[in-house]
Structure 1
Amino acid sequence: MCGLCGSFGSEAHWSDGVADPALTPTAERHRRAAVANETLALYGLGVREWGGRFTLSSRTGKVAVVDTLGAVWPAAEKLIRRDCDPLDPAVIAALER
């Protein structure tokens, strides 16, 4: 996973904009969390939008709260103590199945 996504701290993240003008910002964050969950599930993790932030949780009950979607990936690596690369060819192949 490229560290650039997590390096911006609590500043506005490029993914915070609304891609679909028919959706509210909160609905857009919920949609993005649902998409991220497809990949995170392969690592035994899940994320949900809550109060304008994202709550990441593991199957074992570990939790991290992050401000942006970009911060989810570095937090995921800390929770599972290994790389969490959504661009890994094996991950992409699993998602395509």
Structure 2
Amino acid sequence: MCGMCGLLGGGNHWSNATAPLAGANPRRQRLIQAALANRVLMPFRLKLDDFHGRSFVLTSPTGASEMVNDFSQVWRVAERMLGRPLDPLTLFTDEAAAP
């Protein structure tokens, strides 16, 4: 998807709404949401960035990037980029998958 389509079309999924934080505007909340996701994505060498408050951009270790319309698509796109299943919950167990 091109950047303009991501800018105009994304952002309406329920997962993009975050609980209000005291003193945080919606833009800051999205940045916090991306930062929390990056804690899970970091061991897989993936990075999630906010795109103008409407979409996200997921970047792979090779530098490939893909527009993600809403937060629910992050894991699907991450699996496609990695070429294998990604279970974020395995990172918090004794048998964490190696990247």
Q: TM tier, shorter chain?
A: 0.7 to 0.9
| Native 8 Å contact 1:18 1:24 kept in 2 | no
Q: 2-side partners of 1:14 and 1:87: how far apart? A: 21
| Native 8 Å contact 1:18 1:28 kept in 2 | yes
Q: 1:82 and 2:81 equivalent? A: no
Q: 1:13 and 2:13 equivalent? A: yes
Cross-structure match for 2:45? 44
| Native 8 Å contact 2:11 2:55 kept in 1 | no
Counting aligned pairs with the same residue, the percent is 31
Q: CA deviation at 1:40?
A: 0.4
- Misfit runs of 4+, over 3 Å: none
Alignment root-mean-square deviation, CA: 2.0
The amino acid across from 1:17 in the alignment is A
Deviation string, structure 1 residues 36-78 (Cα, Å, up to 9, x no partner): 0011011110001011210000121111111111111100001
Q: 2-side partners of 1:73 and 1:31: how far apart? A: 18
Unmatched runs of 5 consecutive residues or more in structure 2 = 1-9
For this pair of structures, how many residues does the alignment match? 84
Unmatched runs of 5 consecutive residues or more in structure 1 = 1-9
